Amino acid sequence: MEQDRNKSLFESIPVPTAVRIMALPTIISQLIVLIYNMADTFYLGRTNNPFMVAGASLILPVFNICLSLAGLAGIGGGALISRLLGAGDSKEAEKVSAFSLRLAVVTTALFSAGMLLFMDPVLGLLGASGNTRAYAAQYSFCVIVLGGIPTVLSNVMANLLRSVGESGKAGFGIAMGGILNILLDPLFMFVLLPAGYEVLGVGVATLISNCCACAFFIVTILRKGAETVLRFRLPDGLPAAENIRSVFTVGIPSSIATLLFDIDYIVIDKLMSAYGDIALAAVGIVLKAERLPLNVGIGICQGMMPLVAYNFASGDRERMFRIIRFSLAAGLIVGALSVTMYEVMAGHILRIFIAEPETVRLGTDFLRIRCLATPLMFMSFFTVYTFQGFGRGERSLFLGIMRWAVFNIPMLFVLNHFIGMYGIVWSQVTADILTVALSAYVYFRFRSRLIKGGVSS
């Protein structure tokens, strides 16, 4: 069985090597996903039309909300599968796999249908103007209405593959979709579709690439057959009731945290739209450009979490804590290096995406401010991923709600009111200082109880 071959990865391979094996393919795939997301903005920027850039940027939060559904089934199901394997219950892991995949399809289908039915009011809520509405509608129809299910299902299957130690295959599938998107963007934008339909071209390219990635994952899992616990069909019925609850206990907090993260982006776009389409285009570029170290950090967390979950369930606390310490140190080093890079190269980074001078000027200022929060942001979501590995969804939910609903989003309104446009940009640093302090308190309090034996697996 596959879990027997990967047992040494979870139990005995040195921690730095195990984290590298699990995290490196995920980091690479996350970076390729980032590149293809930025490629959309890059190619649209070649039109020197800030309205196209702003229109596509407006949909990013809604697209990410759609992706949050992958957290419900993928993070909730994947973390549980790793814990079940650590506890030696492979049959129940099979049931959880099939249940998670069905959950992903049903929830995403409902979300995509809702976007189709309520497209106009949603675009109005996002702050679309007469200059950007048509572009935003074209992009959302392709990537959310038509592309929602293959996109979410791909991410769920990638998470499930990581949960059984197959991080390389998970990373390859996501990376393949990203590379295909980069190649198809200019083909549809500048060759196959007429001028004026560049945003539609980006959307079609994204749709096709995500469908191809989804097909790769389906074939990969089917070809493994009996070698893996991952299943599309429910073997012998549903998982046990407590395990269904566990999927939701961890998955719902993951989805809510992602949802609140993207509501934060929506609020940023909405508040920034009051300062004009140029400011909106500038912040849209920055919100993508700043994702480089964050995606690396997410890759570290996604690679680390199955290792933490497995060792938490198997009772090897010493190895589990070494995995946590090593992963945290790696993420903080990445965060520190990224702050230096953005402070020095902010202007050059903006010019990669667009040449319009005022957009570059504002975006340079915005990026130099926002990047200061990078190490703080990593520490915040690292703590959430760690609690997801423990199966303690209530704590990850608490930290997610506190971070976004109590600290970040209110801070946007407060600083916008008192400082104006630049207050919107400074809100991330201010809020994450409070978030990190709270996260550290919650984690070390739980860790103390864990060491004393007051917490069960």
Q: What is the pLDDT of residue 226?
A: 74
* Alpha carbon distance 274, 252 (integer Å): 33
The tokens of 272 are what? Answer: 């920034």
Q: How confident is the model at residue 240 (pLDDT cuts 50, 70, 90)?
A: confident
Q: What is the pLDDT of residue 383?
A: 93
Q: What is the pLDDT of residue 165?
A: 83
Q: What is the pLDDT of residue 10?
A: 86
* Residue-wise pLDDT tens digits, 349-407: 888 877 788 888 888 999 999 989 999 999 998 998 999 888 888 888 888 888 888 99
Greatest mean pLDDT among 6-20, 60-74, 159-173, 320-334 lies in: 320-334
Q: What is the pLDDT of residue 109?
A: 94
* Alpha carbon distance 141, 116 (integer Å): 7
Positive or negative torsion for Cα 166, 172, 175, 176: negative
Q: What is the pLDDT of residue 46?
A: 76
Q: How many Cα atoms occupy the beta-carbon half-sphere of 402 within 13 Å?
A: 19
The tokens of 69 are what? Answer: 């559904």
Q: How confident is the model at residue 454 (pLDDT cuts 50, 70, 90)?
A: low
pLDDT over 70 percentage in the chain:
97
Q: What is the pLDDT of residue 5?
A: 59
Q: What is the pLDDT of residue 424?
A: 92
By the 10 Å C-beta count (0-12 exposed, 13-18 middle, 19+ buried), 345 is classed as middle
Q: How confident is the model at residue 8 (pLDDT cuts 50, 70, 90)?
A: confident
* Alpha carbon distance 21, 18 (integer Å): 5
Residue that has been written with the tokens 């790696």 in this structure? 330
> Which sequence spans correspond to the domains of the chain?
2-451
* Alpha carbon distance 438, 285 (integer Å): 30
* Residue-wise pLDDT tens digits, 144-196: 999 899 999 999 999 899 888 888 888 899 889 888 988 898 898 888 888 77
pLDDT over 90 percentage in the chain:
30
| Mean of per-residue pLDDT scores for the chain | 86
pLDDT for residue 38 is more than 80: no
* Residue-wise pLDDT tens digits, 315-344: 888 999 999 999 999 999 999 999 999 999
pLDDT for residue 419 is more than 70: yes
Q: What is the pLDDT of residue 114?
A: 92
Q: Which residues contact residue 436 at a Cβ distance below 8 angstroms, ignoring those fewer than 6 apart? A: 376, 379, 380
Q: Return the DSSP state at 453.
A: T
pLDDT for residue 421 is more than 70: yes
Q: How confident is the model at residue 443 (pLDDT cuts 50, 70, 90)?
A: very high
- Cα 7 to Cα 10, 164, 189, 273, 310: the distances in Å are 5, 9, 47, 52, 10
Q: What is the pLDDT of residue 457?
A: 56
* Alpha carbon distance 138, 184 (integer Å): 17
pLDDT for residue 74 is more than 80: yes
Q: Which residues contact residue 259 at a Cβ distance below 8 angstroms, ignoring those fewer than 6 apart? A: 65, 68
* Alpha carbon distance 80, 97 (integer Å): 9
